[in-house]
C-alpha cells in the first residue's frame, strides 16, 4: 500500500512486479482401478513405488489384473500412481461383508474391533489385552481398580507373530486424551471400532478382560470373517456418481494424467460401458485413457484386421471424446512370479503408462511415446508378432501396434489417439499433440486462478500476457513447438480484441493461447536416385 509520510526522512515502498511464475503440472500420474488384497475402498491413494503398493494393497495377487498392471508400470519407468480399490462382496451378503472382526470379552458385554478394509488379510490379525499400564513388568491377572488398559495388535505370517500396533494406557473415557476409539480412528492402519445407529461409539461399559496367551506367549484371539470377495462387474467399476465410488472416485483426486482400467479377471475384457464412463471422466480431468485390446481379436492377426471397425465401435468410445483415448494391440507376454514364472498373457496398459512416464521424463510430453527408445522391460514376448503390412492396416485405423524387432526387442510402434484414423482427419490425431495440449490446459487452468476478481483492464491483461508468455517461451526453448522463432511457435493474446466491453461488463476476460505442435515423423521416406555419371560433350 502507498506510504503515508508523517516525518521528514526516507521511506521504503515495495512495488509488486506482477510476475507469477508458472510451473508445469505433472504429465504422467497414472490412475489404476481394480481389485486388491487389501486397502481402503473407493479412495484414490497415491503411491510412488511398487513397494508402496505392496504395503498398502498387498502386492501381486493372481485374481487381480490391476496388481500386474501396476507392477508393469513401475518396471517400465513409472513414477507416481493413484490406486482406486473397488470390491464386490460375496453373493447375497451385505455391502460390509468381507470385513474381518474380532470380539473381546468385556464384563457382561464385548468390544468388537473391525479390520479397516475387506479381505482375507484381516483374518491374520490377533489382539491381546493387558492391564500393565503403570508397571509393564508387572503381571496383573485380574482387572485392577483402574479404567485404563493396553491394546496390542499382531499379525500372523509364515514367520510367526509380529506386533504391528500397540496402544498403551488407553480408556473408554471420551474426555481422556487416550480415548481408544479416537486413537484407532486417527492412527491405526488395521483396526477400528464401529458406531451405533445414533452415532455413538460401540463400546462396552467395562474395559476388556485380559486375553490369554499360548505357552509361547503368543496371542490367541483371532479375527475372522474376512473375504476377498468375487470378480468385479461393470456395476463396481462404474460406481455411483453422487457417492464418488468406482470410476467416479477419481473426482476426489487432485490430478491424474493417464487412466488404466484392467479387466475384472484374466481371460476377460474390460466392459465397453466401463470404458464409456472412463473416457468421460478422462475428458473432465484432461487425462488420457489407455485402452486394452479386446480378446475377440484373438491370438492371430486375422482376428484384429478382419473387421476392426466393428470391434472399435463396440468399445463405445467414439466422437470427440475418443481424442482422450488410445488403443494398443496386442497383449503382452511375461513370466508370472505367482505361478512359478510360467509365461502368461497380460494387458499392456500398465506397461504403456510406464513407457509414457519414462518418455516424459527423458524427452518431454511432446515426444511421441513410441519408437526404438520406447522398449518394454520385463516383457518376454507379444501375443501376436505383427509384420509391416499388418501394422499398416491397423495404423491407418488409429490402432497402435506393439512390435518385436531383432535388436531393439519389444517396442511401442504407434502414436495415434482413437481419433487417429486417416479417414477422420482429426486435428488431435497424435497422442503427443493431444497430451501436450492437455498439459498446457491443466497448467494454465491452475496457474490463472489468481486472475479471478482482479480489475479487468489493461494492467491485468499485461500481467496475463507476461506470465503465460514466459511459460510458453520456456516450453519453446525446450523444443516443445514447431518454428524457429517464438513468433512462429506460439502466441498469447489478451487485450481489447479478445475481451470486448460487453465481456468486461459480464465479468469475463478472454485469453487466447495458441501453439504450433510437434508431430511425430510417422513415415520416413528416403528417395534414392542413380546418377548416370559425368558425360563429356
Q: How far apart are CA 99 and CA 502, in angstroms?
A: 59
Query: Whose CA is closest to 38, among 99, 79, 126?
Result: 99
pLDDT value at residue 119: 93
Span 320-324, average pLDDT: 94
pLDDT classification of 351: cutoffs 50, 70, 90:
very high
129 burial level (CB within 10 Å; 0-12, 13-18, 19+): buried
Span 455-476, average pLDDT: 95
pLDDT value at residue 533: 66
Are residues 356 and 236 part of one domain? yes
Span 479-485, average pLDDT: 93
Classify residue 438: in a domain, yes or no: no
Which residue(s) pair with 342 in the sheet? 336
Are residues 416 and 294 part of one domain? yes
Q: How far apart are CA 332 and CA 368, in angstroms?
A: 20
Classify residue 450: in a domain, yes or no: no
C-alpha cell at 63: 485374481
- Note down the domain range covering 63: 30-88+231-433
**Helix intervals (H) in 296-406:** 301-305, 308-314, 349-362, 388-395
Are residues 533 and 395 part of one domain? no
With a cut of 70, say whether residue 311 has pLDDT above it.
no
CA atoms within 13 A on the CB side of 472: 27
Are residues 388 and 294 part of one domain? yes
With a cut of 90, say whether residue 489 has pLDDT above it.
yes
With a cut of 60, say whether residue 138 has pLDDT above it.
no
Over residues 84-126, the pLDDT tens digits come to 999 999 876 655 578 999 999 988 889 999 999 999 999 999 9
C-alpha cell at 18: 506482477
Are residues 177 and 144 part of one domain? yes
**Helix intervals (H) in 20-131:** 50-57, 65-75
How many residues does this entry show for the chain? Answer: 537
Are residues 183 and 83 part of one domain? no
Q: How far apart are CA 81 and CA 88, in angstroms?
A: 23
Classify residue 534: in a domain, yes or no: yes
Q: How far apart are CA 353 and CA 291, in angstroms?
A: 11
With a cut of 80, say whether residue 301 has pLDDT above it.
no
* Number of domains observed in the structure of the chain: 3
Are residues 467 and 389 part of one domain? no
Span 237-246, average pLDDT: 94
C-alpha cell at 320: 470427440
Q: How far apart are CA 514 and CA 493, in angstroms?
A: 9
Are residues 240 and 216 part of one domain? no
Over residues 366-387, the pLDDT tens digits come to 999 999 999 999 999 999 999 9
pTM flag (> 0.85): yes
In 3-state terms, the chain is what percent helix, strand and coil (to 5)? 30, 20, 50
Alpha-carbon Rg for the chain, nearest whole angstrom, is 30
pLDDT value at residue 479: 94
C-alpha cell at 532: 548416370
Classify residue 83: in a domain, yes or no: yes
Which of 194, 222, 250 is the last residue in one of the domains?
222
Are residues 117 and 40 part of one domain? no
Q: How many CB atoms lie within 10 A of CB 38?
A: 23
C-alpha cell at 442: 491443466
Strand order in the sheet with 409-412: 45-47, 81-85, 30-34, 258-260, 288-291, 325-329, 399-405, 409-412
The contacts of residue 115 (CB under 8 Å, 6+ apart) are 99, 100, 101, 121, 122, 125, 190, 191, 223, 226
pLDDT value at residue 91: 77
Q: Which of 52-56, 153-157, 367-371 has the lowest mean pLDDT?
A: 153-157
C-alpha cell at 495: 487485450
Strand order in the sheet with 332-336: 342-346, 332-336, 381-382
pLDDT value at residue 316: 87
Strands 409-412 and 490-493 turn out to be unpaired
Distance of CA 508 to the CA centre of its chain: 34
Span 135-143, average pLDDT: 58
Span 486-504, average pLDDT: 94
Classify residue 4: in a domain, yes or no: no
Are residues 83 and 109 part of one domain? no
User: Quick check: 314 and 291 in contact, CB under 8 A?
Assistant: no
pLDDT value at residue 297: 82
Span 263-277, average pLDDT: 94
pLDDT value at residue 132: 82
Can you give the three-state secondary structure of 118-130, one letter per residue?
Answer: CCHHHHHEEEEEE
209 burial level (CB within 10 Å; 0-12, 13-18, 19+): middle
Instruction: Tell me: cis bond preceding 330? Omega within 30 of 0 counts.
Output: yes
Which of 195, 222, 249 is the last residue in one of the domains?
222
Q: How many CB atoms lie within 10 A of CB 109?
A: 15
Over residues 177-228, the pLDDT tens digits come to 999 999 999 999 999 998 888 888 999 888 888 888 888 888 889 999 899 9
Please report where in the chains the cell 484414490 appears, as a residue.
44
With a cut of 80, say whether residue 172 has pLDDT above it.
yes
Which of 158, 193, 222 is the last residue in one of the domains?
222
With a cut of 90, say whether residue 254 has pLDDT above it.
yes
pLDDT value at residue 197: 84
Classify residue 44: in a domain, yes or no: yes
Classify residue 8: in a domain, yes or no: no
Classify residue 445: in a domain, yes or no: no
Are residues 145 and 217 part of one domain? yes
Are residues 241 and 216 part of one domain? no
Amino acid at each position: 500500500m502507498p506510504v503515508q509520510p508523517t516525518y521528514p526522512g526516507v521511506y521504503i515502498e515495495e512495488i509488486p512486479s506482477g510476475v507469477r511464475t508458472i510451473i508445469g503440472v505433472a504429465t504422467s500420474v497414472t490412475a489404476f482401478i481394480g481389485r486388491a488384497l487389501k486397502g481402503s475402498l473407493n479412495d484414490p491413494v497415491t503411491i510412488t513405488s511398487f513397494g508402496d503398493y505392496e504395503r498398502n494393497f498387498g502386492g501381486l495377487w493372481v485374481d487381480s489384473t490391476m496388481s500386474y498392471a501396476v507392477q508393469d508400470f513401475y518396471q517400465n519407468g513409472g513414477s507416481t500412481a493413484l490406486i482406486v480399490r473397488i470390491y464386490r462382496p460375496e453373493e447375497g451378503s451385505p455391502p460390509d461383508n468381507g470385513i474381518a472382526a474380532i470380539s473381546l470379552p468385556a464384563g457382561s458385554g464385548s468390544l468388537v474391533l473391525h479390520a479397516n478394509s475387506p479381505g482375507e488379510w484381516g483374518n491374520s490379525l490377533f489382539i491381546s489385552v493387558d492391564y500393565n499400564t503403570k508397571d509393564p513388568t508387572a503381571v496383573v491377572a485380574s482387572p485392577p481398580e483402574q479404567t485404563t488398559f493396553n491394546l496390542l495388535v499382531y499379525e500372523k505370517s509364515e514367520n510367526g507373530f509380529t506386533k504391528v500396533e500397540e496402544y498403551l494406557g488407553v480408556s473408554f473415557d471420551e474426555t481422556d486424551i487416550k480415548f481408544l476409539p479416537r486413537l484407532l480412528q486417527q492412527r491405526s492402519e488395521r483396526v477400528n471400532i464401529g458406531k451405533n445407529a445414533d452415532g455413538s461409539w460401540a463400546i462396552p461399559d467395562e474395559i476388556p478382560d485380559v486375553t490369554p496367551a499360548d505357552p509361547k506367549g503368543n496371542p490367541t484371539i483371532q479375527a475372522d470373517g474376512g473375504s476377498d470377495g468375487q470378480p468385479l462387474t461393470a456395476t463396481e467399476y462404474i460406481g455411483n456418481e453422487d457417492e464418488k465410488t468406482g470410476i467416479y472416485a477419481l473426482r476426489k483426486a487432485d490430478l491424474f494424467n493417464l487412466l488404466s482400467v484392467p479387466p475384472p479377471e484374466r481371460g476377460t475384457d474390460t466392459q465397453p460401458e466401463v470404458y464409456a464412463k472412463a473416457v468421460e471422466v478422462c475428458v473432465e480431468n484432461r487425462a488420457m485413457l489407455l485402452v486394452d485390446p479386446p480378446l475377440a481379436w484373438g491370438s492371430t492377426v486375422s482376428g484384429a484386421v478382419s473387421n476392426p471397425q466393428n470391434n472399435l465401435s463396440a468399445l463405445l468410445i467414439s466422437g470427440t471424446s475418443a481424442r482422450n483415448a488410445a488403443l494398443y494391440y496386442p497383449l503382452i507376454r511375461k513370466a508370472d512370479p505367482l505361478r512359478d514364472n510360467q509365461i502368461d498373457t497380460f494387458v499392456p496398459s500398465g506397461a504403456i503408462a510406464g513407457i509414457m512416464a519414462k518418455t516424459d521424463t527423458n524427452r518431454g510430453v511432446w515426444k511421441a511415446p513410441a519408437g526404438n527408445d520406447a522398449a518394454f522391460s520385463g516383457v518376454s514376448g507379444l501375443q501376436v508378432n505383427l509384420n509391416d503390412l499388418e501394422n499398416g492396416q491397423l495404423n491407418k485405423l488409429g490402432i497402435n501396434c506393439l512390435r518385436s524387432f531383432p535388436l531393439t526387442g519389444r517396442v511401442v510402434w504407434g502414436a495415434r489417439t482413437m481419433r487417429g484414423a486417416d479417414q477422420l482427419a482429426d486435428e488431435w490425431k497424435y497422442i503427443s499433440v493431444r497430451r501436450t495440449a492437455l498439459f498446457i490446459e491443466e497448467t494454465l487452468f491452475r496457474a490463472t486462478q489468481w486472475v479471478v476478481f482482479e480489475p479487468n483492464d489493461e494492467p491485468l491483461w499485461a500481467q496475463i500476457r507476461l506470465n503465460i508468455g514466459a511459460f510458453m517461451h520456456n516450453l519453446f526453448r525446450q523444443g516443445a513447438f514447431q518454428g524457429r522463432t517464438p513468433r512462429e511457435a506460439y502466441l498469447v493474446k489478451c487485450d481489447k480484441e479478445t475481451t470486448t466491453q460487453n465481456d468486461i461488463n459480464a465479468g469475463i476476460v478472454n485469453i487466447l493461447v495458441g501453439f504450433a505442435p510437434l508431430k511425430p515423423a510417422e513415415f520416413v521416406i528416403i528417395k534414392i536416385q542413380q546418377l548416370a555419371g559425368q558425360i563429356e560433350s
